[in-house]
Amino acid sequence: AQSVAQPEDQVNVAEGNPLTVKCTYSVSGNPYLFWYVQYPNRGLQFLLKYITGDNLVKGSYGFEAEFNKSQTSFHLKKPSALVSDSALYFCAVRDINNYGQNFVFGPGTRLSVLP
Amino acid sequence: KAGVTQTPRYLIKTRGQQVTLSCSPISGHRSVSWYQQTPGQGLQFLFEYFSETQRNKGNFPGRFSGRQFSNSRSEMNVSTLELGDSALYLCASRPTETNTGELFFGEGSRLTVL
């Protein structure tokens, strides 16, 4: 079975500092990995994905994520945080080899960027 | 291209009533999924439809049902509402069920059960 863990419920960072939101996953095969962001009372917005290829993936709004197969991790990063990045972030995984599988989402990490 | 549209955005019901939520996917997308989001349980998968057929179903009671029409629009229904059904219900679409791409989400329908 697939699963996703986001070990931190809350991450606080000062504006201008680098940020990291952690994600680890478990799938039986090879993973498709995704990051989404959710602002209050809104749906989820896609940030970036890893399907194959380069382990460093660049996405929207200056975010990037690094796929680490040995550590089964897919941490979200940004070199310089903005107050407007404050939101709820979700990591999701899907098994490449099982098209019938739905996406599994982590519990979410609330990011607060302090001015 | 218009995004995923969900209606209504907000609704209030009382226990025992039933509710129907609607989702129009992005044009050309044939797969529609539904998720329930609550503060305590996070995002939980309800079901996925493709070409009017339910492909996957999450671990929810039979009070939760859905369907998809020939134009790919989808509805979900919750009967005999309980207080615990209060949640944000999110619909998401993608081009096909085997597509490797991401899900595109709507803004959600926030259901409050009193």
Interface residues from chain B to A (CB-CB < 8 Å): 4, 6, 33, 35, 42-43, 45, 48, 55-56, 58, 90, 92, 97-98, 100-108, 110
Chain A nearest C-alpha distance from B7 (Å): 13
| Predicted local confidence at residue A58, as pLDDT | 96
| Predicted local confidence at residue A99, as pLDDT | 55
pLDDT digits (tens, 9 = 90+) for B76-102: 999 999 999 999 999 999 887 666 778
Q: What is the mean pLDDT of chain A?
A: 92
* Chain A positions in Cβ-Cβ contact with residue B24 (cut-off 8 Å): none
Residue from the list B55, B90, B97 with its beta carbon closest to the beta carbon of A43 = B90
Ramachandran quadrant class, B28 (left: phi over 0; alpha: psi -120 to 50; beta: rest): left
SS3 A85: helix
| Predicted local confidence at residue A29, as pLDDT | 80
| Predicted local confidence at residue A100, as pLDDT | 58
Chain B nearest C-alpha distance from A80 (Å): 26
Chain A nearest C-alpha distance from B64 (Å): 17
| Predicted local confidence at residue B64, as pLDDT | 98
DSSP letters, B55-95, are EEE-S--TTEEEEE-TTS-EEEEE-S--GGG-EEEEEEEES
Residues forming a β-bridge with B10: B110
| Predicted local confidence at residue A75, as pLDDT | 98
pLDDT grade, residue B2 (50/70/90)?
A: confident
Residue from the list A43, A96, A99 with its beta carbon closest to the beta carbon of B108 = A43
pLDDT digits (tens, 9 = 90+) for A59-102: 999 999 999 999 999 999 999 999 999 999 999 998 755 555 67
Interatomic CA distance for residues B30 and B44, integer angstroms: 21
| Predicted local confidence at residue A89, as pLDDT | 98
| Predicted local confidence at residue A98, as pLDDT | 58
pLDDT grade, residue B43 (50/70/90)?
A: very high
Chain A nearest C-alpha distance from B55 (Å): 7
Residue from the list A42, A46, A100 with its beta carbon closest to the beta carbon of B107 = A42
Q: Distance between alpha carbon B59 and the CA centroid of its chain, in Å?
A: 14
Give the list of residues 6+ apart from residue B20 with CB closer than 8 angstroms, or none.
Answer: B75, B76, B77
Range B56-85 average pLDDT: 96
Residue from the list A43, A45, A102 with its beta carbon closest to the beta carbon of B48 = A102
Choose among B38, B51, B49: nearest CA to B92: B49
Whether the pLDDT of residue A1 is over 80: the answer is: no
Interatomic CA distance for residues A63 and A54, integer angstroms: 15
Whether the pLDDT of residue B16 is over 60: the answer is: yes
